[in-house]
Each structure stands twice: as structure tokens, then as C-alpha cells.
């Protein structure tokens, strides 16, 4: 892992990590596995053994209904933990799978405990968990209240911001979206035909440009206005005036795993 690794970049959004913090992160994330696209990382009902961290590629969290239909409830991008606090539970209550070829770091209970023993890292991990919850709330709102076009546009705005935060967006506001329209349909509660039509509509309005798996947003503010996107739920704007050390060393941010 380098200082430009998405995991370190993401955590440094909310905590000023020192070199000791970074060294510990590198040391505890050395156990790496490669997985192919469409492989199960975790199955519902499994006994939690390790924590998974996405280093590269796209993965997802999802649930399956009795009729076999799937609802994707989270996209897991480079720098994202799949299941940080899973050791607290007796079993997984959802599935996690790769959407593309992925590299994953595997962390043991002891690894997580060691990370949480560093105050600034602990604070950043807590922030990351709270952001995951905020994203889930926004996805519920997206499916429940936004139009089909707005759902697609809002998801693209979110991915643009999340990928930019870990250095995976180009200067022209383009990024790789290596998921199928079927996977987008499972995410947005739409049919594949509907997703295709909504993407075409956004393209016809010059709000996005599509080239294979590459998405380019020529007018970011225009796309955000169209779907009412506000990035506040991602909490990417860190208040630099807040005393990091005082907050990080408080008992509230100890976050130790027994």
C-alpha cells in the first residue's frame, strides 16, 4: 500500500493520519486475495471470520428474495470496508459479491483491534461507518421518492464524488463504471429496459456521455441540479478547524473491538 492507496486517501478525508498510522494500515492490510468478477465474498448466514477491504474493483452488498430476485443495497468501491464491525454478529445477514475482478485485503479481529487502538485511525473508521449508514438512507430515499431518471442521475453523482475522493476520476469528470445495466436495475428498483431508456435520456439531455464502461459528466452542476443531489450525506468536506487530537483521543472514539 502507498500513500495514494484509495483506503488511505479515504480515511484521510476525515483524519490527519501520521506516518505511524499509515505504517500500521499498510502492515495490517498485507494479506491480499484476488477474486474474479461475480464471485461470492460472503454468503448470508456465514460465520464472520475476517473483515474484507476493497483495494481495487467494484463489489456489492445485496439481499435475495424467495423468488430469486436481488436487491443491491450498497456499492463497495476501492477503499471501502465490506463489513468492518461484523465480529459483533453471530452471522452475516446479507450477501457480498464482486461485480468486477477485485483485490481484497483480509483483516482478522486482531488486525481491526490494532487499527482501532490508533486514535486517529479509530476516528476515521467510525466516520467511514457513519457515512455507510448515510449512503443507505439516501439510497432508500432515491428508490422511494425520486423518478427513474433522477434515480440514475443521483447514483451517478454519488459515484462521481466517491470515486473522486479516492483519486479515481479524471480531470474531465469521467470515471469507469464497470457494472451492467442489470446490476443498475437491481440497485435502483427498475427494469433493465427502463435503466437503458433513462441513461439514453440523460445522454440526450447532454447531462452525461457514455463510451463503453466510461461515464463522463460534462456539466456536473447541471446533473446535480437535475436530480437534486447534495453531497452533504457523504461528509467529504472536513472541518479543518476542529481539534483532531482532542477529539480522536476522547473515549468516544476509542472504538475497540473485544
User: What is the per-residue pLDDT across 197-224, written as a single tens digit (0 to 9) for each?
Assistant: 999 999 999 999 999 999 999 999 999 9
The pLDDT value recorded for residue 88 is 78
CA–CA distance, 157 with 233 (Å, rounded to integer): 12
Mean pLDDT of all residues in 87-112: 91
Pairwise pLDDT comparison (3 vs 43), residue with the higher score: 43
Q: Are 160 and 214 in contact (CB under 8 A)?
A: no
Report the chain's C-alpha Rg in angstroms.
18
Q: Inform me whether the pLDDT recorded for 237 exceeds 50.
A: yes
Query: Residue 197 and residue 83: Cα distance in Å, rounded?
Result: 34
d(CA 14, CA 29) in angstroms, rounded, equals 20
Return residue ranges of the chain for CATH 1.10.10.10: 146-237
Give me the pLDDT at residue 250, please. 42
Q: Could you count the other beta carbons within 10 Å of the beta carbon of residue 62?
A: 18
Given this model, what pLDDT does residue 83 score?
84
- For range 159-174, the mean pLDDT: 96
Query: Is the pTM higher than 0.85?
Result: yes
Cross-strand bridge partners of residue 142: none
| CA 198 – CA 101 distance, rounded (Å) | 27
Domain with CATH 2.60.120.10 in the chain: 1-126
**Would you state the pLDDT for residue 238?**
66
For the structural domain made of 1-126, what CATH number should be given? 2.60.120.10
Q: Which of 122-126, 127-131, 220-224, 251-255 has the lowest mean pLDDT?
A: 251-255
What is the grid cell recorded at 19?
Answer: 506516518
The topology under which CATH files domain 146-237 is Arc Repressor Mutant, subunit A (1.10.10)
Amino acid at each position: 500500500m502507498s500513500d495514494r492507496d484509495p483506503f488511505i486517501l479515504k480515511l484521510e478525508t476525515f483524519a490527519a493520519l501520521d506516518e505511524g498510522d499509515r505504517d500500521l494500515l499498510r502492515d495490517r492490510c498485507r494479506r491480499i486475495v484476488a477474486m474474479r468478477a461475480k464471485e461470492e465474498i460472503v454468503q448470508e448466514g456465514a460465520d464472520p471470520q475476517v473483515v474484507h477491504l476493497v483495494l481495487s474493483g467494484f463489489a456489492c452488498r445485496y439481499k435475495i428474495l424467495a423468488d430469486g430476485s436481488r436487491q443491491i443495497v450498497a456499492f463497495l468501491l476501492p477503499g471501502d470496508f465490506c463489513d468492518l464491525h461484523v465480529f459483533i454478529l453471530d452471522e452475516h445477514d446479507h450477501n457480498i459479491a464482486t461485480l468486477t475482478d477485485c483485490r481484497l485485503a483480509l483483516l482478522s479481529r486482531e488486525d481491526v483491534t490494532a487499527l482501532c487502538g490508533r486514535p486517529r485511525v479509530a476516528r476515521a473508521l467510525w466516520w467511514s461507518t457513519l457515512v455507510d449508514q448515510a449512503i443507505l438512507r439516501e439510497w432508500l430515499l432515491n428508490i422511494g421518492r425520486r423518478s427513474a431518471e433522477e434515480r440514475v442521475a443521483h447514483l451517478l453523482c454519488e459515484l462521481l464524488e466517491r470515486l473522486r475522493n479516492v483519486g479515481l476520476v479524471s480531470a474531465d469528470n469521467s470515471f469507469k463504471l464497470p457494472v451492467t445495466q442489470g446490476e443498475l436495475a437491481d440497485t435502483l428498483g427498475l427494469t433493465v429496459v427502463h435503466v437503458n431508456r433513462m441513461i439514453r435520456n440523460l445522454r440526450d439531455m447532454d447531462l452525461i456521455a457514455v463510451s463503453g464502461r466510461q461515464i463522463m459528466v460534462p456539466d456536473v452542476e447541471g446533473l446535480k441540479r437535475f436530480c437534486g443531489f447534495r453531497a452533504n450525506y457523504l461528509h467529504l468536506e472536513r472541518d479543518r478547524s476542529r481539534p483532531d487530537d482532542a477529539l480522536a483521543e476522547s473515549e468516544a472514539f476509542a472504538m475497540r473491538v473485544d
